[in-house]
Structure 1
Amino acid sequence: MGKKKDLSEDERQEIVECLGQGMTTIKIAKTTTLSYRQLHRIKRAAVKMPCHSSKQVFKAAGASNVPRTTRCRVLQRFAAVRKSSFQPPLSIAHKEKQLQWAQQYMKTDFKTLLFTDECRATLDGPYGLSGGWLVDGHPMQTRLQRQQGSGGVMFWAGIMGREIVGPFRIPDGVKMTSIMYVEFLKEHFLPWFKKKNRAFRNTIIFMHDNAPSHAAKNTSACLAAMGIREDKLMVWPPSSPDLNPIENLWSIIKRSVYDGGRQFTSKQQLWEAILSSCKAIEADTVQKLTNSMDEKLLLNKGSYIQM
């Protein structure tokens, strides 16, 4: 019988790593049946085919008969499961307006800028936050799945410097038209605004996006009556949700509210969790969000910002 081929250094290292993980010799044998050349082809296929399944990657590398568990174990050595990132569709006009916005506002003292927006939270929560590691033999957590939708709450908030303004809940069933938006600001934002001193009111810059209720002439006129007019009302470029740092505040709140795959049985219970989450956010965290605006938009000439 001929002599078997010696193991390469990479194969030896792979076996040592598998032994260190407590794998049995049978599992190690299944994992190490691929040659170094095949592993190289698999890695090259994974580079050329981002966000494809393990089956598709191995098929492109000419190793279509490998079991799924082995495919995943091999890919974990140099890759990880990731979700595709989403970007708003930017036309040339959008990029030009974003660049103009950056040229106008990048030298602004963002301590005087109030970023605002609305957010929606559902009773069942996003499914992306419901996963996690599970010890072998323990039962998987069961999640509620309502047939007619889970329902939820809408709320408005703002961030400025080290402070969170709100959050304030939007009544259920209310369609946020210009008239309703103005009434909402008068009831919740205006009392906070009036408590500030004259110097503060003279320097504040109010930011909201280009939603129809925000961009309406009636809204602009009412804000002007409150003292927010001309250069005190920021001109926001279209298709630019990624520029608003308050989007990161929503992520912080939802990670806390839905921690451990938590779900809610009532809107009031959900709202109380949102309020508790906001109270727990430290001022330093808010300041990091409001200070996160930089000159990347200028450097990218108004195009997408790679985080």
Structure 2
Amino acid sequence: MSRQVKGYVYLALAMLTVGSTVVASKLIASGLPPFSATALRFAVAFPVLLLLMWATSARLPTLSRHDRLILIIQAGAGSVGYTTLLISGLSLTSAADAGVIIGTLPVVSAAISIMLLRERPQRALLLAVALATAGGLSIAFTPDAAGGALSGNALIFLAVVCEGLFILLNKRLKTDVAPLALSTLMAGIGFIVAAIPAVFEAPFAHGISTSALGAVVYYALVPTVGGFLLWYAGAERVSGTEAALFTALAPVSAVMLAFIILGEPVGLSQIAGIGCVLAAVLGLAFAGSRTVKLAGGR
């Protein structure tokens, strides 16, 4: 197997773990409060990431006050905000619908960059935003999406916005932080941020289901740690544009796993939503590839 093909396999497996977080969060939502589950997730993942740093002789960089503040906001939005909103939303809506909405992340991130950084949008990006919006609307406003499901879909979208802010804030760091060190910092800070409100949830007073606890441990070890290792093992073997294309597999894997593991029905609305989201992400990636080629030609 060639180096490039191995990269493709690693990236595909990484996106499979990303899609599985939707199913795991659905199981968590039925047996644990969101902040307690998030704090437990990072409590499990943090020592494993520290061990990986020790094994690879990685070091935490010296950070300025500005960068420390950015990291705290990042952890609050991308680590805690994303996870708690995802779990809360999945207590109200289906994992299949959530998978489609989460697939809009690349487009939402690009749109946030335009709004906050005042970047001039390209025609391809505007088309991608329109397609992603159509995909989200196709499942958000289905006949059975009234009431709680609609609220759940809104919470999932807010989770995507939090993750988009995480990506944007990462560009604001003045110090170059290696991926493993950044993941470790996010887990450590995320645990502290989530543990404070978790105290008021009193999870043990209501009992904790075995399936929810197992899903938290899975979320911590497989998508959080394993997904990190798979993604960067794949990304170092292929181009950035090729790696970006694989993010389109996340919503597909989420919907497929919701059908296989949870037995959720997949209807025309989900299929149409996935089609729109895939077209948006792939179009955005190809547009980026074309821009790089044109720049190289100069």
Identify the TM-score tier after normalising by the shorter chain: under 0.3
The alignment's TM-score, normalised by the length of structure 1, stands at: 0.25
Higher Cα Rg: structure 1 or 2? Answer: 1
Structure with the largest fraction of helix: 2
Structure with the largest fraction of strand: 1
The alignment's TM-score, normalised by the length of structure 2, stands at: 0.25
